[in-house]
Structure 1
Amino acid sequence: MTNITRLHHALPLSPAIVKAINEMDERLRKAIDNAKAAGMPQGPVVALLPGQVHSQTTIMVS
């Protein structure tokens, strides 16, 4: 996946947060690549990601 754009926070992040974000990015990339390799249509992958983001955001703000 070479066409990924990374968004950067306006304020400096701690090394621990940067490490956690990088690990999450790598695991997400691997999961998407594995799903594609297994033949999963791209539509479900695209549909699942925003739902997961919404769910996690709700957990974080409550």
Structure 2
Amino acid sequence: MSNVTRLRHALPMSPDINKAVSDLDNAIANAVSAAKAAGLPQGLVVSLLHGHAQAQTNIMVS
């Protein structure tokens, strides 16, 4: 996703973190593309992503 703004932080982010973010972004984009190619409805893809984001948010604030 070349149109995503790069992360900025008060301290420089390590190359390992930058690579992990890039790898995660690519994996998500590839999974969404595969799901769309398989014919999953866009709403289902969005709801699955939202559900995982909500679960991770719950873990972070607990």
Q: Quick check: TM above 0.5?
A: yes
Residue 48 of structure 1 deviates from its aligned partner by: 1.3
Residue 35 of structure 1 deviates from its aligned partner by: 0.2
Match in the other structure for 2:48: 48
d(CA) in 1 for partners of 2:6, 2:48: 20
Match in the other structure for 1:59: 59
Match in the other structure for 1:5: 4
TM-score (norm 1): 0.77
Match in the other structure for 1:14: 14
Specify every segment of 5 or more residues in structure 2 that has no aligned partner in the other structure, as ranges: none
Runs of 4+ in 1 over 6 A off after TM superposition: none
Which 10-residue stretch deviates more, 27-36 or 51-60?
Answer: 51-60
Count of aligned pairs between the two proteins: 61
Residue 8 of structure 1 deviates from its aligned partner by: 1.9
TM-score (norm 2): 0.77
User: Residue 32 of structure 1 aligns to which amino acid in structure 2?
Assistant: V
Specify every segment of 5 or more residues in structure 1 that has no aligned partner in the other structure, as ranges: none
Percent identity of the aligned residues?
46
Which 10-residue stretch deviates more, 30-39 or 44-53?
Answer: 44-53
d(CA) in 2 for partners of 1:56, 1:7: 21
